[in-house]
Structure 1
Amino acid sequence: MVNYQIRVYQDSDYQSVRGLYVSGVRQHFPRVCRYVLKQPVIQASVIVSLSLLLVLCDSLLLFLFLLAVFLVLGRLLLKRLWDLLIDQNLRADLQDIWASYSERPGACFWVAQRDGVVIGSVGAVPSDHSPTDLELKRLNVHREYRGQGIAKALCHTVHEFAHLSGFTGIVLGTSVIQTEAQQLYRKLGYRLVGTSPVPHTFAKLINYTIYKYRYQLRPSPDRPQTQE
């Protein structure tokens, strides 16, 4: 069992939190590649492209060379799109974590720390869609420390914060490829309430969706209520 502590975010954690996010998302890239290759529209495109190459090439060696170039270019394009997604999020709430979470009413950001090193993080902000719901965001745990209950503990920290702040529910979104995260949320009592496509042309083409979950907090008679 790893010894760690969960505490409120400090400005000195800035680079560690951003680095943790980047490394975590980049680790999903191989899974993204497999997901893309399983999509019917991509499989059809690959079959058509390979058929054309086979017709146009007058030698097996040339065909294999062009096939390798085709696959490399496809992977580079997908990698570029994935990096753009990372950069987009770094320029959003992770651009100024203190302003996005620490200074915002009803919001907070926490880190899990071991021996002075940040190994996990999670944030929470009031939902844009319901004044009584809190949104859980940026749950990340360093690869070496996964499977040891840290993500669960970070989620419970958000639950307690939501409870004390008077929210009645917690909402979140996670991508279709993040199956481990989906399992964690279901075990914690979250219910799948819907899906939505990522607002990008290529993402819509490959059916890359966001799964939306909600957790209903248990009511407490002495808990303060959020204002509608």
Structure 2
Amino acid sequence: MAEVQIRRYRDEDHEEVKEVFTIGMSEHIPPSCMHVLKQPLAQMILGCVFCALLTSSKSILLPVLAVTLLLAAGRQCISYMFTKYIQTSLDQDLDHIQQTYLDPPNACFWVAESQGRVVGTVGCLTAAKDENFLELKRMSVKKTHRGQGIAKALCRTVADFARERGYLGVMLHTSVVQTDAQKLYEHMGYQKIREFSAPEFIAKLTNFTLIEYQFIIKQDHY
């Protein structure tokens, strides 16, 4: 396994950071589609359309085609939701990492580097919700480098940064479909605080929820 170094972000990392984040977020589209298909509302709509067309047309082809088109449309809606989130993230901070994360005294952005390439990212800012906490943001690790402890090291880096600056803890948000991330955060000592609907209409309709986690800093160990 190649050595991995956690270091502060540099300007030359910009394109690779955006690539790691964009690809990482896009990976959540298939599990999000599966999440939607498990929802009673989606199952009811598909079932009703199939049965209604089967009864009226007396043919299996038309209802199958209609359901297929509905599934394709649903995937497009979910892809749009993630594409919009990715673009919003780029506009808000990832296109301005220096100004957002490095210029302020109580914010930072790190990359995990392996063989000269960025394979992981994480940043933190003072939480808007509670100034006693830092908010962990933009955590992502390349699929090819997962299972090597990189995400844990990035989490520890943020916790160390928060401790050094006297914060009470670290908070973050993740989604209901990011089950691996949930397991990681809980393993690292984060506690689930609340679960709430994402603001987009599509998300509310499909019960796509966000989860808020909180980690309390212990001064001796964590």
The answer, yes or no, to whether TM exceeds 0.5 is yes
| Aligned-residue RMSD, C-alpha | 1.5
Higher deviation after alignment, 44-53 or 71-80? 71-80
Aligned-residue offset at 1:202: 1.4
8 Å Cα contact 1:110/1:121 also seen in 2: yes
Structure 1 position 59, deviation (Å)? 2.7
Verify the 8 A CA contact 2:4 2:114 in the aligned structure 1. Answer: yes
Question: How many percent identity over aligned positions?
Answer: 39
Which residue identity lines up with residue 29 of structure 1 in the other structure? I
1-structure distance, mates of 2:205, 2:80? 17
Give the SS at the match of 2:131: coil
Mapped contact 1:120–1:151 kept (Cα < 8 A)? yes
Query: Cα gap change, 1:41/1:61 in structure 2, threshold over 3 Å: closer, same or farther?
Result: closer
Contact 2:50–2:66 (Cα < 8 Å) also in 1? no
CA distance in 1, matches of 2:104, 2:30: 36
* CA contact 1:2–1:148 (8 Å) conserved in 2: no
Query: Any runs of at least 4 consecutive aligned residues in structure 1 with deviations exceeding 6 A, and if so which?
Result: none
TM, length-normalised to structure 1 = 0.91
Structure 1 gap ranges (5+)? 221-228
Count of aligned pairs: 220
> CA contact under 8 A between 2:168 and 2:216: conserved in structure 1?
yes
Name the aligned partner's letter for residue 34 of structure 2: R
Question: 1:120: Cα distance to partner?
Answer: 0.3
Deviation at 1:46, TM superposition (A): 1.3
Residue segments in structure 2 that go unaligned for 5+ positions in a row: none
2:163: which partner in 1?
163
2:47 maps to a residue whose letter is: I
Name 1:61's counterpart in structure 2.
Answer: 61
1:197 CA drift (Å): 1.4
- Which residue identity lines up with residue 219 of structure 2 in the other structure? P
CA distance in 1, matches of 2:168, 2:5: 26
Question: Partners in 2 of 1:175 and 1:63 — Cα distance?
Answer: 33
Q: 1:193: Cα distance to partner?
A: 1.1
